[in-house]
Amino acid sequence: MGFSLSHLKALEAESIHIIREVAAEFAKPVMLYSIGKDSSVMVRLAQKAFYPGPIPFPLLHIDTTYKFGEMIEFRDSFARSIGADLIVHTNRKAIEDGASPFRLGTQKCCAQLKTRALLDALEAGGYDAAFGGARRDEEKSRAKERIYSFRDRFGQWDPKNQRPELWNLYNARVDKGESIRVFPLSNWTELDAWHYIWAEGIPIVPLYFAKERPMVVRGASLIPLEHGIPLLPNESPQMVMCRMRSLGCTYCTGAIRSEADTLPKIIEELISFRRSERENRVIDHDQEGSMEVKKREGYF
Amino acid sequence: MASIEELLSSNDTTGLLRFSTAGSVDDGKSTLIGRLLYDCKSVYEDQLDSVKNSRVNRSGRAIDFSLLTDGLKAEREQGITIDVAYRYFSTPRRKYIIADTPGHEQYTRNMATGASTASLAIILIDARKGLLPQSRRHAYISALLGIPHLVAAVNKMDLVDFSEEVFRAIEAEFSSFCARLGRPATLSIPISALDGDNVVNRSARTPWHSGPPLLEYLETVPITSVHNYTHFRMPVQHVVRPDLDFRGFAGTVASGVVKPGDRVMALPSGRTSRVKEVVTHDGNLAEAFPPMAVCVTLEHEIDISRGDMLVDPARMPHVSRRFNASIVWMSAAPLEVNRGYLLKHTSHQTAAQITRIRHRVNVDDLSGQPAGHLELNEIGAVTIETTRPLYFDPYAANRATGGFILIDPVTNATLAAGMIEEQQAGPARRPAAEIARVETGRVTAAERITRSRHQAVTVWLTARANVAWILERRLFDRGCLVQALTDNVQTHLLPEAARVLNGAGIIAICSEASQEAEDRADAIMLLGGQLIEFGPDGLPPGDAAAVEHILAELERRGVFLPDDFSSGEGI
């Protein structure tokens, strides 16, 4: 029979179905927008889900203040260009108390500026559902997470007691104070996301493309020279041809050496890659199973 | 860079195969998946390094592949798989999503979860142990959840010296069990996940095996679609109304094909219209089929909201408050007969109760046993009654409109997965008090149609009163509910009278004395897609010929439900 969908169209349809279900069944959904490539894909899917109408929920960015300047510029112009309702939330109290990855270490910094900030923002907005752009192929504990991930009153995930999830029938029931984190890109791989960005012409932050950037070279890591990163003795910044494979806070997002300055080159590089995209993320490697631990505490 | 762009474009036709794996404790399922991912180069070096450096290695080989897939701390510590894990890999021919499900009996519910979206199931069998009760359970659940292809991967062949005799015995037992499940065409493959025999590459140690290695099979098996392409159904998820000029119904095509111009009926209202456009962000489509997510606009303004369903009026689903289903019970709190649950089916949710457990299934021998309740991970055949009617098809014919879940209204837990059966329940025979409690919903047009076996339309004629009376007789004799309105009603009241009759499920035949533009406009506005007009020039002159013409047109438009339509019993 002539009825076949390409794998990307099948993934797209599944994601749109999920986004529509959430918009219809929850009182107050919000879409976490991290400015990264997966967020860009997710926002495009939301536009498609409600076309020709507007996206019926706001985008929420948790700004740690340690993001790249280019990310913030991109965020503001992108949100304006698509007419999205963008909310930016920062844990001001922690910043005033001097929270920074250099002072607190990455784990505590992340707990304050990301997890705490997120939980506060969700509570302040009274959101009962929050979309996140996480994919199951990113990390082992994510592979086990449902598309609708139930969180208790404290935003915590209980991996041993997840609701069975059958077909495309999602259980959206929550009591007051409880919420659901929704992952419409669960079944996408990193390559699928890039492939879709290429096929759809989705705008992304220029940091993903290779160019010469000032970097601190520390062991195998390339750390961007931003936010006053303290240099170790004998270190001096160097111009390195590099790009970001995933985007986070400047200190915790290592760059990779790369010549890939176009989408096809990035994809070609990805196909030949033998290392996972979160490898350069300092935060995921603080301890064994650290993503699982953070998620239990309320992290996305 | 042309080559990579060509690759990306050609990838547009790469299909997606979703399969599930299930196995018993220690039969090497995680190892098999780790091996598939590794051999298809879907494992990154840093992930491999972390496995190589792990303190745990139970494999006796350089790499313990099972550690690649066990994601939760408790799983790595205990060496078991607790929850469904989804894995992704691709070959140049296909992309794959694996639902890797646990083998313990206590995780049967997770096995059903993984199977619900799969179109192929790999059942791991330890060559030393043969077909275990667990293997039968896996095969049974896979078949119950409607997976078309069942494959036995007979693992650990290295531990039985690649004995053909051992393999053939397991193969025979597996295929005869699957035949009893209604899955006669099954495949068995002798493998060693640990060493890689017949996983990706054909093994030199099984010269007697003429079938394909596992991956070759996965690459070439026809993706027998789990979709139905013949009976159009689209549950409405969301009404898109950006401004007063646009009103679209957003949803995923659950089955069938829809094109602009197609007649569609909205359930439960029973109102019909034509598809104006199939709208998407990428432009309007000439047709849409499952599982596409689209937005449909209609020619008439009819009231449709979330939870309603657009269907092909000539191929209606069953409409009923009462039906039989198989369920997998997924909660630690046992199923209680006559307790109030919530039932979610397509985009529709309603209160429901299980009025009877017909039997519990003994998965080992497929026998049915009487049961007063169902415990966690038990499977039963039940009768369910809902407060509002469901529009459904048997699960075997249509996965998307035949599956449902039950939710606990107090704890919000997902309690059960249900598959609606072919054989439907008879009418309810219950005490009046109970009927009053359950049946609070209003009678819907869909239920009326199910009973009368025809749609309630209005046939609009001009100055052909005789034709109206003859047509009324013909339809009445055919068993239809019908009323002709001619000189018995004032002309300007015809549209409103017809609307009331249609609302009651009755075909109205209106013949006005002369063509009045105003009445016609009223009729179009009030009756929308229910109105079937025959202008003064639209009918042959003789009465008998005119009646035949109208009957043929009603037939063509699918007003009468086909004879092979087997109705669910409306209550």
Which tens digit of pLDDT belongs to each residue from B40-54? 777 666 666 777 777
> What residues of chain A, 47 to 86, have a C-beta less than 8 Å from chain B?
47-54
Alpha carbon distance A130, A128 (integer Å):
7
**Cβ within 8 Å, pair A166-B257:** no
* Residue A53 and residue A171 in one domain: yes
Instruction: Identify the burial level of A287 via C-beta atoms within 10 angstroms of its C-beta, where 0-12 means exposed, 13-18 middle and 19 or more buried.
Output: exposed
* Residue B372 and residue B466 in one domain: no
Average pLDDT over residues A72-92: 95
What is the H or E stretch that residue B404 is in?
strand B403-407
Q: Answer yes or no: are the C-beta atoms of B32 and B191 closer than 8 Å.
A: yes
* Residue B251 and residue B323 in one domain: no
Of the candidates B69, B79, B126, the one whose C-alpha atom is nearest the C-alpha of residue B99 is B69
* Residue B461 and residue B368 in one domain: no
Percent of chain B predicted with pLDDT > 90: 50
How far away is chain A from the Cα of B76, in angstroms, using its nearest Cα? Answer: 10
What's chain A's average pLDDT? Answer: 87
Quote the pLDDT of residue B399.
Answer: 92
Quote the pLDDT of residue B437.
Answer: 44
* Residue A227 and residue A168 in one domain: no
What is the H or E stretch that residue B275 is in?
strand B272-279
* Residue B433 and residue B331 in one domain: yes
DSSP string, B215-267: HHHHHHS----SS-SSS-EEE--EEEEEETTEEEEEEE--BS-B-TT-EEEEE
* Residue A224 and residue A154 in one domain: no
Given a cut of 60, is residue B411 above it in pLDDT?
Answer: yes
Q: Answer yes or no: are the C-beta atoms of A90 and A236 closer than 8 Å.
A: no
Quote the pLDDT of residue B162.
Answer: 96
Average pLDDT over residues B512-533: 82
* Residue A219 and residue A70 in one domain: no
Please state the three-class secondary structure of chain A as a single string.
CCCCCCHHHHHHHHHHHHHHHHHHHCCCEEEECCCCHHHHHHHHHHHHHHCCCCCCCCEEEECCCCCCHHHHHHHHHHHHHHCCCEEEECCHHHHHCCCCHHHHCHHHHHHHHHHHHHHHHHHHHCCCEEECCCCCCCCCCHHHCCCEEEECCCCCCCHHHCCCCECCECCCCCCCCCEEEECCCCCCCHHHHHHHHHHHCCCCCHHHCCEEEEEEEECCEEEECCCCCCCCCCCCCEEEEEEECCCCCCCCECEEECCCCCHHHHHHHHHHCCCCHHHHEHHHHCCCCHHHHHHHCCCC
Give the residue from B416, B441, B466 where a domain finishes: B441
* Residue B168 and residue B68 in one domain: yes
Average pLDDT over residues A167-187: 94
Quote the pLDDT of residue B59.
Answer: 66
Alpha carbon distance B444, B548 (integer Å):
31
- pLDDT band at B60; cut points 50, 70, 90: low
In a domain, residue A199? The reply is no
Read off the CATH number of the domain in which B30 is found.
3.40.50.300
Out of A6, A186, A271, closest to residue B13 by CB: A6
**Cβ within 8 Å, pair B44-A274:** yes
Which stretch, A130-139, A203-212, B81-90, has highest mean pLDDT? A203-212
Any CB–CB contact under 8 A between A290 and chain B?
no
Alpha carbon distance A7, B286 (integer Å):
20
In a domain, residue A163? The reply is yes
Place of tokens 């986070």: A248
- Among all residues of chain B, which has the CA nearest to that of A54? B242
Which stretch, A109-118, A235-244, B378-387, has highest mean pLDDT? B378-387
Given a cut of 80, is residue B177 above it in pLDDT?
Answer: yes
Given a cut of 50, is residue B211 above it in pLDDT?
Answer: yes
Quote the pLDDT of residue B76.
Answer: 57
How far away is chain A from the Cα of B178, in angstroms, using its nearest Cα? Answer: 23
Alpha carbon distance B330, B379 (integer Å):
9
Average pLDDT over residues B15-27: 81
Selected residue with higher pLDDT from B176 and A226: B176
Which tens digit of pLDDT belongs to each residue from A248-275? 888 787 789 999 999 999 998 888 765 5
What is the H or E stretch that residue B21 is in?
strand B15-22
For residue A171 the two structure tokens come to: 């259980």
Average pLDDT over residues B210-224: 88
* Residue B306 and residue B322 in one domain: no
- pLDDT band at B565; cut points 50, 70, 90: very low
Q: What phi and psi, each to the nearest 5 degrees, are found at residue B100?
A: -90, 110
* Residue B403 and residue B520 in one domain: no
A8 neighbourhood in chain B, CB within 8 Å: 11-12
How far away is chain A from the Cα of B43, in angstroms, using its nearest Cα? Answer: 7
B403 Cβ neighbours under 8 A, 6+ residues apart: A166, A167, A169, B116, B345, B395, B417, B418, B419, B420
In a domain, residue A249? The reply is yes
Axis crossing angle, helix A7-25 with helix A37-50, rounded to the nearest 10: 70
**Cβ within 8 Å, pair B225-A1:** yes
What per-residue string of b and e applies to B282-299 under the rule 16 or more CB within 10 Å gives b? eeebeebbbbbbbbbbbb
How far away is chain B from the Cα of A289, in angstroms, using its nearest Cα? Answer: 7
**Cβ within 8 Å, pair B72-A48:** no
Given a cut of 90, is residue B215 above it in pLDDT?
Answer: yes
Which tens digit of pLDDT belongs to each residue from B91-110? 888 899 999 887 666 678 88
Quote the pLDDT of residue A248.
Answer: 83
**Cβ within 8 Å, pair B110-A164:** yes
* Residue A38 and residue A133 in one domain: yes
Average pLDDT over residues A76-103: 90
B23: Cα within 13 Å, side-chain hemisphere: 28
- Pairing of the two strands B272-279 and B263-267: antiparallel
How many structural domains is chain B composed of? Answer: 4
Which tens digit of pLDDT belongs to each residue from A125-147? 999 999 999 999 887 778 888 99
**Cβ within 8 Å, pair A6-B229:** no
Show the domain range for A210.
Answer: 204-284
Quote the pLDDT of residue B433.
Answer: 44
* Residue A32 and residue A124 in one domain: yes
Amino acid A249 reads: C
Least confident of B22-31, B166-175, B281-290: B22-31
Alpha carbon distance B230, B232 (integer Å):
6
* Residue A208 and residue A175 in one domain: no
Given a cut of 80, is residue A298 above it in pLDDT?
Answer: no
Read off the CATH number of the domain in which A53 is found.
3.40.50.620
Quote the pLDDT of residue B142.
Answer: 92
Any CB–CB contact under 8 A between A176 and chain B?
no
- pLDDT band at A105; cut points 50, 70, 90: confident
Q: How many residues does chain B have?
A: 571
In a domain, residue A275? The reply is yes
* Residue B259 and residue B288 in one domain: yes
* Residue A133 and residue A161 in one domain: yes
Of the candidates A51, A167, A245, the one whose C-alpha atom is nearest the C-alpha of residue B414 is A167
Q: How large is the ipTM? A: 0.90
Q: Answer yes or no: are the C-beta atoms of B459 and B508 closer than 8 Å.
A: yes
* Residue B25 and residue B164 in one domain: yes
A52 neighbourhood in chain B, CB within 8 Å: 240, 242, 246, 248, 279, 295
Given a cut of 80, is residue A283 above it in pLDDT?
Answer: no
> What residues of chain A, 205 to 244, have a C-beta less than 8 Å from chain B?
none
Out of B282, B403, B409, closest to residue A169 by CB: B403
Alpha carbon distance A152, B359 (integer Å):
36
In a domain, residue B278? The reply is yes
Of the candidates B470, B515, B466, the one whose C-alpha atom is nearest the C-alpha of residue B494 is B515
A47 neighbourhood in chain B, CB within 8 Å: 281
* Residue A246 and residue A147 in one domain: no
How many structural domains is chain A composed of? Answer: 2
Instruction: Give how far the C-alpha of residue B532 lies from the chain's centroid of Cα atoms, to the nearest Å.
Output: 33
* Residue B213 and residue B238 in one domain: no
Give the residue from B441, B465, B500 where a domain finishes: B441
B250 neighbourhood in chain A, CB within 8 Å: 20, 49-50
* Residue A219 and residue A183 in one domain: no
Quote the pLDDT of residue B566.
Answer: 44
Q: Mutation test of the interface with chain B: which of A11, A12, A15, A16, choosing the one with the most B Cβ atoms within 10 A?
A: A16
In a domain, residue A1? The reply is no
What is the H or E stretch that residue B169 is in?
helix B164-180
Selected residue with higher pLDDT from B307 and B442: B307
Percent of chain B predicted with pLDDT > 70: 86
Selected residue with higher pLDDT from B55 and B146: B146
Given a cut of 50, is residue B431 above it in pLDDT?
Answer: no
- Pairing of the two strands A59-62 and A86-89: parallel
* Residue A186 and residue A221 in one domain: no
Of the candidates A207, A141, A41, the one whose C-alpha atom is nearest the C-alpha of residue B83 is A141
- pLDDT band at A295; cut points 50, 70, 90: low
B306 neighbourhood in chain A, CB within 8 Å: 24
Out of A136, A162, A168, closest to residue B86 by CB: A136
In a domain, residue B368? The reply is yes
CA distances to B423, B442, B476, B506 from B501, in Å? 33, 17, 15, 5
CA distances to A83, A165, B323 from B335, in Å? 49, 19, 17
**Cβ within 8 Å, pair B414-A53:** no
What's chain B's average pLDDT? Answer: 86
- pLDDT band at B214; cut points 50, 70, 90: very high
B254 Cβ neighbours under 8 A, 6+ residues apart: B233, B234, B235, B290, B291, B346, B398, B400, B401
- Pairing of the two strands A221-224 and A211-218: antiparallel
Which tens digit of pLDDT belongs to each residue from B351-365? 999 999 999 998 878
Show the domain range for B489.
Answer: 453-556
* Residue A184 and residue A166 in one domain: yes
In a domain, residue B67? The reply is yes
Q: Mutation test of the interface with chain B: which of A19, A20, A57, A273, choosing the one with the most B Cβ atoms within 10 A?
A: A20
Size of interface A-B (CB pairs under 8 A): 195
B402 neighbourhood in chain A, CB within 8 Å: none
- Among all residues of chain B, which has the CA nearest to that of A24? B238
| SS3 state of residue B327 | strand
Any CB–CB contact under 8 A between A173 and chain B?
yes
Alpha carbon distance B36, B38 (integer Å):
5
Of the candidates B137, B134, B171, the one whose C-alpha atom is nearest the C-alpha of residue B154 is B171
Least confident of A81-90, A279-288, B4-13, B364-373: A279-288
In a domain, residue A74? The reply is yes
Selected residue with higher pLDDT from B357 and A290: B357
Average pLDDT over residues B479-499: 87
- Among all residues of chain B, which has the CA nearest to that of A189? B88
Quote the pLDDT of residue A184.
Answer: 98
Give the residue from B254, B288, B311 where a domain finishes: B311
Which stretch, B246-255, B424-433, B494-503, B512-521, has highest mean pLDDT? B246-255
In a domain, residue A25? The reply is yes
* Residue B19 and residue B152 in one domain: yes
Q: What phi and psi, each to the nearest 5 degrees, are found at residue B7?
A: -60, -45
* Residue B330 and residue B368 in one domain: yes
Given a cut of 50, is residue B198 above it in pLDDT?
Answer: yes
